Structure 1
């Protein structure tokens, strides 16, 4: 077992024990954080491994898709966005190349086929969502829209953000700051202030074992594959995820597909505001909105990754990955192995974050299975489900 730091509430000691094992076996090199809220109260606040403490800010990559999905859900709840309205009705240029019938619902469920462009994007370009959105709007889809789904890894945020900007006149980052981050004091930023950069701990590259490296070399990603196009691996140089996560330009601009910076504490608190009452405020999403965004809209084999997965409206319906969670559990993973979610059926919010990329890092490093099982078991012992 590895030494861990932080606190757990009575009844959650088993989560600390599981986290200590995870740090020793998977996350000592680079460190990790774990935070959990239950019934509006933080019950787990742990960290361990090298170079990370509870206040460290990390590159949390596609976790920003979850924050973006939460802003979109609030705007749907307000009536400012209509999921069944065509994207082009908000953003006329998007209709190019046969995309005029694509609805916002299809776009947010990764069904639009607009995963990238033929010549790719540079790292500097990926920091500019408006530029990425303009090029995606002019490009053909890579499959007939709404006939299948594929992970829009580096495109989702730019597309969703452009719709929000055109519908409301304000960016996702502005909505997030005013309605979510600032009111709840959340340590997860879509646009990291420069004065907080000193708390940032750089992402670290994967260190595969010889067997893992041999497996990678035996199964290269074809440069003309949808996977290569979606993640700009068909360009020279190919997309460097570690450099992206460590870029000050990315931190400042917060491209919505993967540019958010924060901590496990921050993401757990964000999802706690979805999971139930927090600080005397009701849950951010009402029952009808929660049901709409958590419903499975895409499932089966992903055309980009080739894996079995599922998507709701921006969020991932987490019960499809972790069956011990409730049917309205929603959240998102991040590239190094981060996983965060709200489970309203238990008034439970969870976030695990790590610095070094796991070999099987997405969606959510494998150790999340043990950590989530321990967390759900402790929460169940602490009180019966609320719904």
Structure 2
């Protein structure tokens, strides 16, 4: 039986979703509950924090890139276990924020996931600078979409007991339940950088952060009431097909290459593939027994000097590519190129499998969903395959001389210049693959 669930969402980014989600996961775990976390949308960072707090992997669910069967299968496969008591999914951006053109199942918004799954929404409101007016915001969100139910609100950044009383009075007037009031505080704020929060694995004081978050939420949120509002999960279906890039996959995994969706790894293993991790930052080369090498995204720009000095890694990768396929996504693609220029303007030699030259000296944001039609083969997918993914980076492309790998458009159908490229056995894309597209 699939556990019941809730979605933690908000009117906008920066309202406190992650703080509340982490506190909930840690506090409920302290109570002995097994809570399965999920993340709405294409986010790598938040799921790492979820996993640290809940003690189990958090899985991305994306209505633009994944169809209903795939989403249902992922939920059933991770939250359908007998030991899962509750699902807590963290939304992305504002509740109704998504792209204009629908994708596989929706527009990628947290609301579209709520409508599909039946999970009620706990709305986190940043109440700084307002009192009873917050109720108008909550009422508008409750009335916006008939198939999205607001279970209640958690008031955040409450200045004083008097402020809380005014906020509660406004919510009572419009018939919206207050599930908690979080006072202003600094204890559980998490450091951030250009792609969001600093990753969970880089937080040396993570146990202390989670302990404080759990205590903070336990003291200020009615957890029993919140649990009681979880809704039955409607989404059901078999796992969507995920084609592994090989039978034995050498996978780069370290501080420079950490962006791998859990559902991809699980899908590869479910299809019978074996994953062989290696750490380029430790100057390790891909396992010679592998038939494919995969370099995921991450933060190569923060480790460009180390990668340039990793002679065994670079030489081993080049030997591997002489006879077998190597694919890189975003940061992995950059590391396969000729050079990467860091924010200080220093040029670092990369593996040289491709001619790509990228720079962080002049930052330019590239963000959004991507639909790619392959013009050439890549590991796991042949020419003509259509793939859904997401791109988010700040590098500038100075040179991309190799043949384009795909025709790539954004969610609205407009072509984007980041086509990826291929040369010999090497392929790379700036987008991170989420799912195969039909047709």
TM range (shorter): under 0.3
TM-score by length of 2: 0.23
More helix by proportion, 1 or 2? Answer: 1
More strand by proportion, 1 or 2? Answer: 2
